[in-house]
Amino acid sequence: MKILVTGVAGFIGFHVAKKLIDDNIEVIGIDNINDYYPMTLKFDRLKELGIQPDFIRYNNKVKSETMKSFTFLRLDITDESHLLNLFNREKFDIVIHLAAQAGVRYSLDNPKAYIKSNIEGFNNILEACRNFPVKHLVYASSSSVYGMNKEQPFSVKHKVDSPVSLYAATKKSNELMAHSYSYLYNIPTTGLRFFTVYGPWGRPDMAPMLFAKSIIEGKPIKVFNNGNLERDFTYIDDIITGITKIMSLPPCEKIPYRILNIGNSKPVKLGEFINEIEEALGEKAIKEMYPMQDGDVYSTFADVSELQQLTNYKPTIALKEGITKFIKWYTAYFN
């Protein structure tokens, strides 16, 4: 079996690839290694996978020095011709598509980056799967598609027509685009709505990393909406388990299309989340209160019953354990 992981130098892509390689599956990973956040972190993730940054050239295969079933290619998913060539050459069985312009807040100032990678890039992935058929395309959607929805827990049965950021709108668009390709070309697709993922090798633009950094440096942390926010924080290992379980179960309905939530199903108040980080670090945060931010939602809470039915998915890492593991990695990495 050969699997393509896009966004492999990113937080979730790195962990998925590592798990698949550990399971002796052949993985080709691509990423454009953009500078949305420090590229050093992306290169360091790749180093963990045995890829030496010095050998990376655009659209050139680099074999892992330590993991024989892994190959990396620096490639932009908006580069259609090279992407199609890659699919033509490699004949992937499964595609796990995670490359995207992530982040809600950045989308307020940089809308074009989202249209380019998340719409144009996603369309290229669909076209590649249409021209060089795969058994299953699994792609990242987001809990942000629930936007202004009030009814909780968020269910995939709910209508999601009121995104509050362009990021969310691109993710919802991906789901619609996937539906049309599943319908027209019989491409089995599963869209996974991830709920706030955290853990080792995480993203520097997200709360866990921002909070840990500021607390360690004795700087104030920004607490939005006076801390009156709730997030269904989901530990990375639970996300990876969900992805690897579902990838082998392509939808086989008449239109082979599905959307699933993947989250911890235990929303946590922001204050409690900060307390756990303080405890793990043994230091108190200096909190600066800010109003609600544009693009943000108040609360997220995943109903994962569909994923559970299909795969027996059950999140296993509670917040305290997850934060402890995250802080352990954070302090070791930044030391």
Which residues are marked as active site?
167
What token pair was written down for 5? 């992981």
What token pair was written down for 288? 């600066």
Stretch in the footprint of ligand NAD (CB under 6 A) among 74-82, 221-229, 249-257, 279-287: 74-82
Residue 259 sits in the site that holds ligand NAD (CB under 6 A): no
Q: How far is the CB of 203 from ligand NAD (least distance, A)?
A: 5
Which residue among 76, 175, 238, 276 contacts ligand NAD (CB under 6 A)? 76
What token pair was written down for 59? 């659209």
Helices (H), 93-155: 106-109, 111-114, 122-131
| Most distant CA atoms of the chain, gap in Å | 57
Q: How far is the CB of 34 from ligand NAD (least distance, A)?
A: 4
Residue 32 sits in the site that holds ligand NAD (CB under 6 A): yes
User: In angstroms, rounded to a whole number, what is the distance separating the alpha carbons of residues 246 and 242?
Assistant: 6
Which residue among 11, 114, 273, 330 contacts ligand NAD (CB under 6 A)? 11
User: In angstroms, rounded to a whole number, what is the distance separating the alpha carbons of residues 97 and 131?
Assistant: 16
φ/ψ region of 68 (left if φ > 0, alpha if ψ in -120 to 50, else beta) reads alpha
Residues 6+ apart with CB under 8 A from 224: 270, 290, 291, 292, 293, 296
Rg (CA), the chain: 19
Stretch in the footprint of ligand NAD (CB under 6 A) among 92-100, 148-156, 209-217, 322-330: 92-100
Helices (H), 186-206: none
Residue 325 sits in the site that holds ligand NAD (CB under 6 A): no
Stretch in the footprint of ligand NAD (CB under 6 A) among 9-17, 18-26, 50-58, 130-138: 9-17
CA distances from 317 to 132, 135, 152, 233 (A): 38, 31, 22, 10
284 vs 298, which CB is nearer to ligand NAD? 298
Stretch in the footprint of ligand NAD (CB under 6 A) among 26-34, 84-92, 122-130, 310-318: 26-34
Which residue among 59, 78, 85, 214 contacts ligand NAD (CB under 6 A)? 78
Which of 171, 168, 191 lies closest to 257, judged by CA?
191
Binding to ligand NAD (CB under 6 A): which residues in 218-237? none
Q: Which residues bind ligand NAD (CB under 6 A)?
A: 7, 9-13, 31-34, 42, 76-78, 98-102, 117, 121, 140, 142, 194, 196-197, 203
